[in-house]
Every structure is written in structure tokens, then in C-alpha cells.
Amino acid sequence: MTSRDTDLQSPEKRTLTLSGHVGFDSLPDQLVSKSVSLGFCFNILCVGETGIGKSTLMNTLFNTTFEYEEASHYQNIVYLRPRTYDLQESNVDLKLTIVDTVGFGDQVNKEESYKPIVDYIDCQFEYFLQEELKIKRSLHNYLDTRIHVCLYFISPTGHSLRSLDLVTMKKLDSKVNIIPLIAKADTISKCELNKFKIKIMSELVSNGVQVYQFPTDDEAVTEINSSMNAHLPLAVVGSSEEVKVGNKQVRARQYPWGVVQVENENHCDFVKLREMLIRVNMEDLREQTHSRHYELYRRCKLEEMGFKDSDTDSQPFSLQDVYVAKRREFLAELQRSEEDMRQMFVTKVKETEAELKERERELHERFEQLKRIHQEEKQSLEQKRRELEEEMNSFSRRKVAAETLQANTLQTSITHTIKKDKDKRNIFSLSSALSFATEGNVN
């Protein structure tokens, strides 16, 4: 660092007294007026199982009825549903976004239930970071969707925290301000509630889960905030009904045995929550989101991208150097992957060529084999044909011989028969002559 840099960073300071009113004491008012004219935004994430009372509590907190649909218990996955509302109180505009975790706790396997929530939070940080990194930024009218607070609804079981709650809170605690709430606190007795609160806090501490602590560094709120920290987790009751108590209409839940008044501090911690969340610490929650959670995300992301505050020689970080180094790295990587691709392509071509050659050789062999078989079959057929012809010739010869023999035999037999007949006839005529001669002699 040069001596000029040092001079610029720590100019000589002197305290002077003004001899009259100048007017910069109106700066806080100017800030207020500017902020009021821009309006505010506040984003709440409600994490809790289906039907635990998230929407009812939001309606009760903001004293209105937000549109909402009941979630089904049959979601395959958890998904986040953000809804934004423009609210006005006195002359202050508030853009309120309520993000609901739909289907949380409904799956048989809840191992990955926290993931969509973490991804959603990171995604909003990423949008903001991208806006910050733009050359032409418009942060003054940027719709900030980063989650300022996570109201974590715990079932009023009176037992201990479920592992799903512990895992989810552990995954979220470095990304968002978590305020743990015991939902439907009217369903648990006062004594059990106190024990449950102690148990939850001890479980959170022993598992290293960091929940949001109401800040105690600002004198104006130190007292109230430190006393409220002792009440965590806040036990809340929500209701959309109004019941007449005395001569006043109040938000309450009416039961056959009595009325639970939402705003009665003896009945539940709803008022404490509203006080802490909206009336006292809303700005701190916004501030913590930006300076702690977003800052952590931004730092990790920029480090991942290769940015750092000082180089290896502890010299101040130079964006230009990092850019050049990154560009060189990127080009080298590109060249490497191009070379890899080329190598891969050549190898693939060689492999395919070898494969084709092998196939061709196999086909040729097969062809030769078939040709050989064909030749052998042809030869054997030829042989058979010759044998048959031979057989036919010998058969014809035998036939002719047989016929000749037969004809000769017939001739001989005919001749023989004729001779026999002749002999017979001769004998007959001889005997006739003899008998005639004999008869003549007798007479």
C-alpha cells in the first residue's frame, strides 16, 4: 500500500464547534422520509406441517384475511408457495411476502424435506447477488425476495422436538433468522407448556441450532428484547373468529369450557410475537438478513468464483488480475476440454473402425464357410446323382435281363405245353385207334 493510499484512508480528523444552526441534524428525518416514500418489504417464511395453523397465524398477525388454499396431505414433495401482498398502515407501504411450505412433514421419507426450503432461500440470495453484480444495477427498486424471518411452527406435542424439526432448523440456521413457535398452544396445559419450552431450548442448544435472538445492543430495546429472549420458543394461538369478551370483540378461540383470547398474554405469547416481529425488530431482521446471512452467502459464492480480498502476497485484491487469471484459467480449461473431446473423438472413430473391420472379417469368414458348405453339399448331391444314375442303369439292365428271361421262359413253357398237348393228342388218337381195332376184332 502506498503512503498516498494511507492518507486517503485515514485523513486527519479534528472536532470543531458550529457557531450556528446548519441543518444536517435533519438527516435522520430525511432518511425516514426517503425510506417511507420508497416503502418497505418484508418476507416471512412459514415452515410447519400441513394444518398446523400457519395461515391462521398470519391472518391474526396482520389482522386481515390473506387468500389461501388448504394444502393437501398427499404431496409427494415439499414445495414453496410465495404470495405477495401490498399493505398500508398510516402512510407506510409494506410489500409483504408470505412463503408457505406446502406438504412439509407429509412424506413417508422426510430425509430430503429441508432441501426445497434451503434451495429457495439460496435462490433468493442468488437473485440479489446477480443484481449486485450487474453493470447497470437497479437495487433501489429491486423487489427483494430474500427471506427476512423463518417462523418455525413446532407441534404442541409436549414431548421433544422431532428429528425433522431439528434437521431442518440446523440446515436453515446459517441462512435465515429462525423464530421457533409452539403452534396451537391452546391445546397444551400451562405446566406442560413451560416444560416443553425448556426441553425445546435445551435440545436446540445441545444440537447447536442457532435461533434468532432479539438484539440487545440497542439501548432503546435492550430490556424488552432480553426479557423476550427468555420466552423463546413463543407459544402462539391463532384465530379467525371474533368473540365478545366483556363489552369488547376480541380475536379468540371459543370452547365449551371457555375462551382462549389470542391477545391475552396470560393465555399465549401471540402479543409478544407481534411485538417482537413487527413492532420492535422488523428492521433488525431485515438488517441481519442482509449483513449476516446474505453476506455469508455472497462471501462463499464469490470465493467459489475465485474472488478474494488479498492475493498470496497480501496485496489488495485486484479485480482486473482476478479477471485475467480467471480468463486464462477458463481458456486453458476450454483448450483442455477441446483436446479431450478431440482425443475422445479420434478414439471413438478408431474403435468404430476396428469394430467395423472385425464385423467385415466375421462376415467374410461366414461367407467363406457358407460357400464351403455349399460346395460340399453340391459335391455330395452330385455324388448321389451319379449313384442314382448308376442304380437306374443297373436297374434298367436287370429289368431287360429279367424281361428277356421271362420271355424265354414263357417261350419254353409254351413250346413245352404245345408239345405236351401234341403228345396228349397223339396218345389219345393212338388209344382210340387201338380201341377201335380191339372192338373190330371182337365183332
Residue 68 or residue 85: which is nearer to Mg ion going by CB?
68
Backbone angles phi, psi at 67, to 5 degrees: -65, 140
- Binding test (CB under 5 A) with Mg ion, winner from 41, 44, 49, 55: 55
Q: Is 334 exposed, middle or buried (0-12, 13-18, 19+ CB in 10 A)?
A: exposed
Per-residue mark of binding to ligand GTP, 292-331 (x: CB under 6 A):
----------------------------------------
The yes or no reply on residue 284 touching ligand GTP (CB under 6 A) is no
Nearest Cα neighbor of 158 from 227, 51, 235 is 235
- CA 301-305-306 angle, to 5 degrees, is 120
Q: Which does 53 bind (CB under 5 to 8 A by kind): ligand GTP, Mg ion, none?
A: ligand GTP
Q: Is 184 in the site for ligand GTP (CB under 6 A)?
A: yes
Residue type, 62: F
- Beta partners for residue 45, in sequence order: 99, 150
> Of Mg ion, ligand GTP, none, which one sits near residue 61, judging by CB under 5 to 8 A according to partner kind?
none
Of 60 and 288, the one with the shorter C-beta distance to ligand GTP is 60
Cβ atoms of 84 and 96 closer than 8 Å: yes
Residue 306 CB, nearest distance to Mg ion (Å)?
A: 43
CA-closest candidate to residue 151, choices 169, 171, 166: 169
Q: Is 267 in the site for ligand GTP (CB under 6 A)?
A: no
Where in 185-204 is the site for ligand GTP (CB under 6 A)? Answer: 186-187
Among the listed residues 45, 79, 62, the one whose alpha carbon sits nearest the alpha carbon of residue 149: 45
Site size toward Mg ion, by CB under 5 A? 3
Of 282, 103, 48, 86, residue with least CA distance to 57: 48
Give the residue with the Cβ less far from ligand GTP, 70 or 86. Answer: 70
- What is the H or E stretch that residue 165 is in? helix 163-172
Q: Residue 43, interface with ligand GTP (CB under 6 A)?
A: no
How many of the other CB atoms lie within 10 Å of CB of 242?
13
Single-letter code of the amino acid located at 10: S
Contacts of 224 (CB under 8 A, 6+ apart): 214, 275, 280
Residue 51 interacts, among Mg ion, ligand GTP, none and using kind-specific CB cut-offs from 5 to 8 Å, with ligand GTP
**CA distances for 321 relative to 2, 5, 309, 317, 326, angstroms:** 19, 19, 12, 8, 8
Question: In whole angstroms, how close is the CB of 11 to ligand GTP at the nearest point?
Answer: 56
Contact pick of 47, 53, 106, 125 for ligand GTP (by CB under 6 A): 53
User: Before 233, cis peptide (omega within 30)?
Assistant: yes
Question: Of these, 54, 267, 274, 298, which contacts ligand GTP (CB under 6 A)?
Answer: 54
Q: In what order do the strands lie in the sheet with 258-261?
A: 242-245, 248-255, 258-261
For Mg ion, the binding residues in 61-90 under the rule CB under 5 A are 68
Burial bucket for residue 152 (CB in 10 Å: 0-12, 13-18, 19+): buried
Under the criterion CB under 6 A, does residue 272 sit at the interface with ligand GTP?
no
Residues 6+ apart with CB under 8 A from 290: 146
- Helix, strand, coil: what percent of the chain each, to 5? 55, 15, 30
60 counts as binding Mg ion under rule CB under 5 A: no
Does 51 help bind ligand GTP (rule: CB under 6 A)?
A: yes
Contact flag: residue 144 with ligand GTP (CB under 6 A) = no
Does residue 52 bind ligand GTP (CB under 6 A)? yes
In the complex, minimum distance from the CB of residue 80 to Mg ion, in angstroms, rounded to a whole number: 13
Please state the closest distance from residue 72 (CB atom) to ligand GTP, in A. Answer: 8
Whichever of 46 and 204 has its CB closer to Mg ion, that residue is: 46
Q: Which of 237, 276, 277, 285 binds ligand GTP (CB under 6 A)?
A: 237
Q: Answer with the entry of Mg ion, ligand GTP, none that 56 interacts with (C-beta below 5 to 8 A by kind).
A: ligand GTP
- Terminal Cα distance for the chain, rounded: 191
Min dist. Cβ of residue 151 to ligand GTP (A): 11
Say whether residue 70 binds ligand GTP (CB under 6 A). Answer: yes
Residues in contact with Mg ion by the rule CB under 5 A: 54-55, 68
Residues in contact with ligand GTP by the rule CB under 6 A: 48, 50-56, 70-71, 100, 184, 186-187, 237-238, 253
